[in-house]
């Protein structure tokens, strides 16, 4: 494994609540943030960072991803918790963070909306399904 591991949405929330160095990074696209919603960590006294892993609309990796993490104030000893739509893109983001020298980078399983179900819909798992705080942006 080339990143620190996987955590559930609930475990990520607990880490955010307990660890002052834990940072939630939503690595979905601007379009997803605008139209689907975003996690809300204000009740924990924290801000969620929004850094695209894959550039929208062209679908290419964001060449400034690691630079943008640093510009947002992420420190090498922070515990980074990466969130995408379903828990797949966030693996790549966590791997890139570890490769860049960030010591703790985790993937949040099921992401914000979870996998596609038998009817072709999302929403049965993930951050929102776990009833964790979120809002429309």
Strands 38-39 and 5-7, bridge-based pairing: unpaired
Contact 21, 79 (CB under 8 A): yes
Tell me, rounded to whole angstroms, the distance of Cα 12 from its chain centroid: 10
Residues 6+ apart with CB under 8 A from 2: 95, 98, 99
Cα–Cα distance between 6 and 24 in angstroms, integer? 14
pLDDT tens by residue, the chain, 137 residues: 799 999 999 999 999 999 999 999 999 999 999 999 999 999 999 999 999 999 888 889 999 999 999 999 999 999 999 999 999 999 999 999 999 999 999 999 999 999 998 888 888 899 999 999 999 97
Convert the pLDDT of each residue in 85-105 to its tens digit: 999 999 999 999 999 999 999
Q: Model-level pTM greater than 0.85?
A: yes
Domains plus CATH for the chain?
Answer: 5-135 (3.40.250.10)
């Amino acid at each position: 494994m080339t990143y620190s591991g996987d955590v559930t949405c609930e475990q990520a929330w607990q880490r955010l609540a307990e660890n002052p160095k834990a940072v939630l990074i939503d690595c979905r696209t601007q379009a997803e943030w605008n139209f689907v919603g975003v996690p809300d960590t204000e009740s924990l006294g924290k801000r969620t960072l929004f850094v695209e892993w894959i550039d929208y609309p062209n679908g290419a990796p964001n060449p400034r991803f690691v630079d943008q993490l640093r510009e947002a104030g992420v420190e090498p000893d922070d515990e980074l918790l990466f969130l995408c739509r379903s828990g797949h893109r966030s693996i790549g983001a966590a791997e890139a963070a570890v490769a860049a020298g960030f010591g703790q980078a985790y993937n949040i399983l099921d992401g914000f909306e979870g996998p596609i179900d038998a009817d072709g819909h999302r929403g049965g798992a993930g951050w929102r399904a776990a009833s964790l705080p979120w809002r429309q942006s």
